[in-house]
Structure 1
Amino acid sequence: MGCTNKSQRGKVFVPQNISKSNARYPSKTKLQIIKKDSTGRQTGINTVSFNFTRPFIFSAENLNLPNLTHISRCVLPGIDPHGEHEKKCQDICLYIYNKQDILLALFDGHGKEGEKVVAACAAVVESFFKENIENYSDTPESFLENLCNACDSNVKRTGNGIDSTNSGSTAVLVLVHNNYIYSASLGDSRAVLGTGLQPTVLPVPKSVNHDDTKHMYPLIPGLFPVQLTKDQKPEDPDEYARILKNGGIIKRINDNGKQIGPFRVFDSSGKYPGLAMSRSIGDSSGSSLGVISTPICTSLPLTGKEKFIVLASDGVWDVIDNEDVVVFIESFRKKCLDTCTPPENVEASSTIIAQLLGEEARMRWLKVISEEDVMVDDISVIVLQFKDND
């Protein structure tokens, strides 16, 4: 974990194995980035050095709730390796609970106003839970759907100081209520359950953008990753049909004849809004094109074999697959601290499990940067742990 290796295309921190004792991560790095021309041909190497950002959000606490024992959260701001652009953090994650229920929420903003969008959503989550959770005791899916729509309405509300024309956010929500896990999502942030019992019926099929090349670690026998939310990408058949019906166009960006990046939603001109997701909060310019704020909701009964739930933004899922995330958390969560302040030297024995997973994701981003010369994305993580009933 966190060891230094030499790749074929430059010196990069690439974790190779899970250490049985600890996991350590550096506070800075030196990286060789491949320079390419418009045809993709390598023309040289740039060497950059940069410090890793400190946590923007960081907290953890023990819980005294039915079936639940601990929760931690962390947001690591993104990085421009070249230091040419100031990158504002547009991720927020939070949780709120009463004597019986806990709600987890994670928002990954985009666009010029993304920072304002996620802040507005976080405020809605807290007030909506406090004022409404008792009214939805028998209809928790409706609670999550109405909460997403309330966030969208607040972001688009006239006079709120937010221009949501081309700014918005993903959303992933998990409610543990009445011995069930209820989930809702918009966009490509994701929630995954680590459990000792594989469900007979999965909440959603394996993600359409699941990439087995991101899987680096051997599976742990008797540990199963169960995806709770469905990524909403424009190329998904159901999403694709809705957007085309509303006059939208789905395509990748053309760069000198080369198709690059993910599929995106455009209007008939092919210029705007360029969204890489088919559902979101905000993004007013996409509303008429079939980009909606109604989430996809799922539910799963508790069996007593659940170990933890992890919510994360695509800053994690773009570089680590479900299996590796679950194996990583299970390998280190009991070695991490229950509570602490952000440490200077990050390792399993000095921090919380949410930060440790975020640091692992940043290590994997280094290889992507060296080959594609991109920024490190904002990285958000929430880890909710269940009581050990084994």
Structure 2
Amino acid sequence: MGHFSSMFSGLARSFSIKKVKHNNGTCDAKEAADEMVKDAKKKEMILKSCGYVYAEGSNNSASVFSKRGEKGVNQDCAIVWEGFGCQEDMIFCGIFDGHGPWGHYVAKHVRNSMPSSLLCNWQKTLAQTTLLDPELDLEGSSKKFSRFDIWKHSYLKTCASVDQELEHHRKIDSYNSGTTAITIVRQGDVIYVSNVGDSRAVLATTSDEGNLVAVQLTLDFKPNLPQEKERIIGCNGRVFCMKDEPGVHRVWQPDAEAPGLAMSRAFGDYCIKEYGLVSVPEVTQRHISAKDHFIILASDGIWDVITNQEAIEIISSTTERPKAAKRLVEQAVRAWKKKRRGIAMDDMSVVCLFLHSSSSSPSLSQHVQHAMTFK
């Protein structure tokens, strides 16, 4: 057996699953995924609110913070899961930014259901691929199925099933409400990024010249992006800005001044799904090197007032990792009050995932000439 099948065997052993059941070529892994969730909760490896997570024996550490804006209840939420899928070298992180009257319920539902659904689909795909080729070695240069293929397929199935489940949820009205979802899975020295909506992932890395630079890992899926606008118009939806919001492109129904959604991809929002809004994620991967320091996941409230470069400099100049996410949010609040005076502040949420242990990571302070401050 190659690395691929041995990984699946490791998952099975984690819960003494002696045999995987197969029906018509599919694998039922939901029970195993649910057990993994329960086990992770017991061991306090899942963080769903503000704080800091660092699992013993792990090189991963993450800082999380969320702050309510001035529009009502906080519709943002986050998750960090160390030891994702009972694998010591895996971690799952996500930011979910809800909108609409039921947006906070939608965001929390997607946050709670996505990790276990992703695990389930990942195990299914893993098992099916292993059955097709038991000698498959993911590390081989001539592999037919790559790890990226597996994760992309798993994410596509997960997002489709989560959105379908949400549509038929008896207690959550998501017809005029929805959420974004920016998530990453780190597996060893590779990260897989899935993006639905306009939240953003930014990597802090060292350039060849030795400077700390920001690399944006995702697109902000706004309705005016050429490929997004083409799809929306092709589905008879409309894209335009309101007179009092120049530069803010929104999706509208063909014959109504609704819903005015400022993103082109989201979970929920079924009032406009037939007019070009989709919940299909963009899935990408990146190999982590010694030059890569941390990844910031943040809702759009942060990026409305903070640039990518400012964000990584704020994090890198924070001496205590557990306070990193909170400090970025606090700086964004100050920036909002300065740059967007008179406009109700949005909810702001940040997950900062450090890619190397503090003892092995090179000092970041040498890259930062000036800490970013907003008075």
TM-score when scaled to structure 2?
Answer: 0.72
Provide the secondary structure at the position in 1 that maps to 2:172.
coil
Which secondary structure does the structure 2 equivalent of 1:241 belong to? helix
Quote the residue 2:284 is aligned against. Answer: 298
Determine the C-alpha separation between the residues in 1 that align with 2:169 and 2:100: 18
- Deviation per CA, 1:227-262, whole angstroms, max 9, x where unpaired? 11111111100001000100011101134xxx5351
Share of identical aligned residues, percent?
Answer: 31
Could you say which residue in structure 2 is the equivalent of 1:153? 164
How far has the Cα of 1:130 moved from its partner?
4.8
> For 1:376 and 1:65, how far apart are their aligned partners in 2?
39
Instruction: Work out the CA distance in 1 between the residues paired with 2:354 and 2:57.
Output: 11
- Give the AA of the match of 2:49: I
Sort the Cα spacing of 1:64 and 1:301 in 2 relative to 1 into closer, same or farther, 3 A.
Answer: farther
Confirm or deny: 8 A CA contact 2:182 2:297 kept in the other structure. yes
In structure 2, the CA distance between the partners of 1:197 and 1:167, relative to structure 1 (3 Å rule), is same
**Residue 60 (str. 1) matches residue 28 (str. 2):** no
- Correspondence for 2:225 among 227, 231, 236: 236
Is 2:194 the partner of 1:184? yes
Q: Where do 5+ consecutive residues of structure 2 fail to align?
A: 1-47, 127-146, 363-375
Q: How many residues align?
A: 286
What does residue 111 of structure 1 align with? 100
Distance in 2, Cα, partners of 1:91 & 1:262: 21
Show the 5 A alignment for 1:1-390. 57-64=49-56, 68-79=59-70, 87-98=72-83, 99-136=88-125, 138=147, 139-159=150-170, 161-197=171-207, 221-255=210-244, 260=246, 262-332=248-318, 335-336=319-320, 338=322, 352-370=323-341, 373-387=342-356, 388-390=360-362
Structure 1: gaps spanning 5 or more residues = 1-55, 81-86, 199-219, 339-351
- Assess if the C-alpha contact under 8 Å between 1:193 and 1:310 holds in 2: yes
Contact preservation (8 Å) 2:77, 2:108? yes
CA deviations on 1:34-75 (whole Å, 9 max, x unpaired) are: xxxxxxxxxxxxxxxxxxxxxx93110224566x33111111
Q: Offset at 1:278?
A: 0.6
Q: 1:293 to 1:353 in 2, by over 3 A?
A: same
Q: Name the SS for the 2:60 alignment partner.
A: strand
- Give, in angstroms, the shift of residue 297 of structure 1: 1.3
Q: Equivalent residue of 2:271, what SS?
A: helix
The answer to whether the Cα contact below 8 Å between 2:63 and 2:321 also exists between their aligned partners in 1 is no
Aligned-pair distance for 1:100?
2.0
Task: Quickly say closer, same or farther: Cα 1:279–1:337, change in 2 above 3 A.
Answer: closer
Q: 2:54 is paired with a residue of what secondary structure?
A: strand
SS at 2:93 equivalent = strand
Give how far 1:282 is off: 0.4
CA distances 1:162-187 after superposition (whole Å, capped 9, x unpaired): 11111001110111124211111111
Deviation at 1:158, TM superposition (A): 4.4
Counterpart secondary structure, 2:296: strand
Q: Distance in 2 between matches of 1:113 and 1:307?
A: 36
Deviation of 1:306 (Å): 1.4
The answer to whether the Cα contact below 8 Å between 1:368 and 1:374 also exists between their aligned partners in 2 is: no
Cα RMSD for the two superposed structures: 2.1
- The residue aligned with 1:27 is none
Give the 4+ runs in structure 1 shifted more than 4 A.
Answer: none
Q: What is the rounded CA distance, in whole Å, between the counterparts of 1:268 and 1:386 in structure 2?
A: 46
Cα pair 2:206 2:291 within 8 Å, conserved: yes
TM-score (norm. length: structure 1):
0.69
